[in-house]
Amino acid sequence: PWYVPDHQKATFELGDENAPTEGIGTGWFYSVLGGGKDLRPELKLEERVPVNFDNTSDRDNQGDFPVPTLFNGNFDAVSQPNSVLVQALNTTNAIPGWSVDSGLSTSSVDSGLSTSSVDSGPSTSSEAPKPINPKLVDWHDIDGLKIRQQKKGKDVPGTSHLEMLRVDRRGQNYALELQNSFEHDPFVVPEWGALRFDLHVPKAALGDGTLKVTIEDTDSANKVDKTFLLQEVALTDDGSGVLDDYVEASRKVDYAPYGFDTFQLDVPDSLRGKTATVKFEVNGATEPIYLDNVFFKSAHLKFGNPSEARANPSEYRNNFLIERPEYALSYNADNNILNWASWQVNKSWVFPADKDTRFVIDNRIFKSDITLPSGFYQVLPKDYKDDSGKKNLKLEETKTDKKGNPVLDEDGNPQTETVEYAQGHAVPIAHRNRNHRDNLAISLLSNIVPQTEKSNNGVWKGFEGYVRDFVKDTSKQTHNKEVHVIAGTHGVKDVEFPGRGEGDKTSIKIPEYLWQVILVTDRPGKGVEDVTENTYTLGLWMPNNNTPDKTSAWRKEKDSENPERLLYVNSVNEIESKTGYDFFSNLPDGIEEKIEDNTDISFRTDIPDAPRDP
């Protein structure tokens, strides 16, 4: 055994009082004090375990990354809270990483009213406030997650939050029942990434309640906080539009009564690298709400940040990171368009949660992104229109072919043509059509690029539909996948949109090329450790020009110069070579390189039933 001197080169006899008594053949034995310094094995660097390898023994206890951005942010690094052992040891209120005594209530535990907030006023009870034991609840025991869409008065199978995410009851998936306040133990704030968390707010909890989230430096008064409202996004009376702007809507609930919806708190640079706590305080709610997945860094960047963008406007002006619950993107302040956007697509993002929702699927109310830093031009809706302010802008420019090469006349001179431009979504409506808040997010002009009308309604639209097909409803739930998409721009044309805003004049650059790359997992919620050499990836590369093509052309049209290849389909590696970005960089290098070479098209029924050959 490890605690006796039985190492092959040890000279001690069993029972020798001078023998080291622990750590034989382990790290302690090989230390100077352990006596085995000269017996250390030769270090083989090629056999070292990579930092992106998750050695958590129980998959159910894993966090967001191999080294979680916040320990036990998903409340799953626990023993079964209802087990006989936990009950016998009286540790049902012990949640690793979170403070046991952080919540205080009035004398009525069931009231859910907090005394920790200034807004709630002092307790009127004659008794001292009593701590509420934190309660973990299995997702399958939360009624709101079982709500299905109704059709003709009957439930539609496969439409509850649990079913859309294919949550397996055999797994360990807990959420915190939040009644008043709860605080995480001190941790080091990561170098980048917003704080994100998921909330489920049952319909009975909607009303005048609030949730205040605070990150505070333990060594100073430095802190940041934000108050979220437990009320729904406000609509106009006839349901034709939305009263709230995105900033206001991001503080309210929309999908949360039907499932877990993500919310976000941006973190200032002054807190980076500091030891801090994060606190959640509920006030004025008559029913508990549910908290889960408290982490830093966008879930849409689970597989990597392609350009290592950061939310630092002075040093990353042209690679500025914007994180939202709906997507993450890198913004270029000189070009006034995005470099790339990254987002997840699964059935919960594209399937309306309630038949009575007044959401208008094609509600294109484009708005300036007022969250951009000072010194960034806020693109206006009229920047995409002609002088009348009503029609799309048309420009005279060099005519190019389906590969983006100039088309020459008989004398060898470039031909010109008139090109009509539309507001092209990077993250499309078809991938974010479940509620009003999501629609507001994708209609911010930071998510829009000048895209030719013909390409927007042709090849590009066809590929967006292809991605959606992986997650759409089917008679077989096993075909409900999750797709991780990154889309972006490359190059700029020699024509541009003039900025129509007041003050310093600027322009909106027009990209020469548009591209997308995708990675498909066989079910929602899979992470880096689940990606294998058979995981499916694919890329699309196309010129942003006037070339007319049908939506199906991306998977049918051959390259005239290389008939063995499709014209628009590229491997992920090929698009990396063209753009300089590193996609899916959180994957182990060997697997990443293997899967990113693929140019063969697969469909949802091929994964994982018939994975492509390695």
Q: 422 lies in a domain?
A: yes
- Dihedral-angle region of residue 461 (phi above 0 means left; psi in -120 to 50 means alpha; beta otherwise): alpha
Q: Which two tokens stand for residue 277?
A: 């706590």
Q: Which of 21-35, 152-166, 235-249, 456-470 has the highest mean pLDDT?
A: 456-470
pLDDT of residue 102 exceeding 60, the answer is no
My answer on whether 346 and 235 are in the same domain is no
My answer on whether 361 and 293 are in the same domain is no
pLDDT of residue 64: 83
Residue of 79 and 583 predicted with greater confidence? 583
My answer on whether 272 and 417 are in the same domain is no
CB atoms within 10 A of CB 348: 25
My answer on whether 225 and 357 are in the same domain is no
Do 186 and 277 contact (CB within 8 A), yes or no?
yes
Mean pLDDT confidence for 118-134: 41
**Last residue in a domain, options 269, 297, 325:** 297
d(CA 69, CA 586): 14
**Last residue in a domain, options 272, 297, 322:** 297
My answer on whether 293 and 353 are in the same domain is no
Do 604 and 469 contact (CB within 8 A), yes or no?
yes
My answer on whether 230 and 85 are in the same domain is yes
CB atoms within 10 A of CB 500: 17
Q: What is the largest CA-CA distance in the chain?
A: 98
pLDDT digits (tens, 9 = 90+) for 71-97: 999 998 876 655 665 556 555 567 889
Query: What is the helix (H) or strand (E) element at residue 17, kind and residue range?
Result: none
Nearest C-alpha neighbor of 350 from the set 438, 262, 426: 438
d(CA 192, CA 582): 18
pLDDT of residue 539 exceeding 90, the answer is yes
Q: 291 lies in a domain?
A: yes
Do 515 and 539 contact (CB within 8 A), yes or no?
yes
Q: 45 lies in a domain?
A: no
Among the residue ranges 28-37, 408-417, 456-465, the one predicted with the least confidence is: 28-37
CB atoms within 10 A of CB 487: 27
Q: 215 lies in a domain?
A: yes
My answer on whether 436 and 539 are in the same domain is yes
pLDDT of residue 363: 65
Domain count, the chain: 2
d(CA 70, CA 197): 11
Q: Which two tokens stand for residue 92?
A: 């049902």
d(CA 61, CA 68): 11
Residue of 49 and 391 predicted with greater confidence? 391
Nearest C-alpha neighbor of 250 from the set 280, 283, 227, 271: 227
Q: 464 lies in a domain?
A: yes
Nearest C-alpha neighbor of 427 from the set 531, 564, 355, 327: 327
Q: 2 lies in a domain?
A: no
Compute the Cα dihedral for 30, 31, 34, 39 and give only its sign. positive
pLDDT of residue 133: 52
My answer on whether 291 and 341 are in the same domain is no
My answer on whether 424 and 560 are in the same domain is yes
Residue of 7 and 117 predicted with greater confidence? 7
Do 202 and 123 contact (CB within 8 A), yes or no?
no
Mean pLDDT confidence for 375-388: 91
Beta strands per DSSP E along 271-319: 275-283, 289-296
Do 104 and 132 contact (CB within 8 A), yes or no?
yes
My answer on whether 150 and 210 are in the same domain is yes
3-state secondary structure of 559: strand
Do 243 and 218 contact (CB within 8 A), yes or no?
no
Query: Average pLDDT, whole number, for the chain?
Result: 83
Residue of 521 and 66 predicted with greater confidence? 521
Percent residues over pLDDT 90 in the chain: 57
Q: 37 lies in a domain?
A: no
pLDDT band at 142 (very low <50, low <70, confident <90, very high): very high
My answer on whether 256 and 348 are in the same domain is no
Q: 122 lies in a domain?
A: yes
Do 440 and 249 contact (CB within 8 A), yes or no?
yes
Mean pLDDT confidence for 463-482: 77
What predicted TM-score, i.e. pTM, was given to this entire model? 0.85
d(CA 454, CA 550): 9
pLDDT of residue 603: 81
pLDDT band at 488 (very low <50, low <70, confident <90, very high): very high
Which CATH number characterizes residue 595's domain?
3.40.570.10
Assign 3-class secondary structure to 427-446: CCHHHCCCCHHHHHHHCEHH
My answer on whether 389 and 272 are in the same domain is no
Among the residue ranges 32-41, 164-173, 179-188, 516-525, the one predicted with the least confidence is: 32-41
d(CA 370, CA 473): 36
pLDDT of residue 119: 38
Residue whose structure tokens are 């206001």: 248
Domain extent at residue 137: 59-297
pLDDT of residue 187: 96
Cα dihedral 552, 556, 559, 562, rounded to 10, equals 160
pLDDT digits (tens, 9 = 90+) for 295-342: 999 999 999 999 999 999 999 999 999 999 999 999 999 999 999 999
Helix then strand then coil, in percent of the chain rounded to 5, is 20, 30, 55
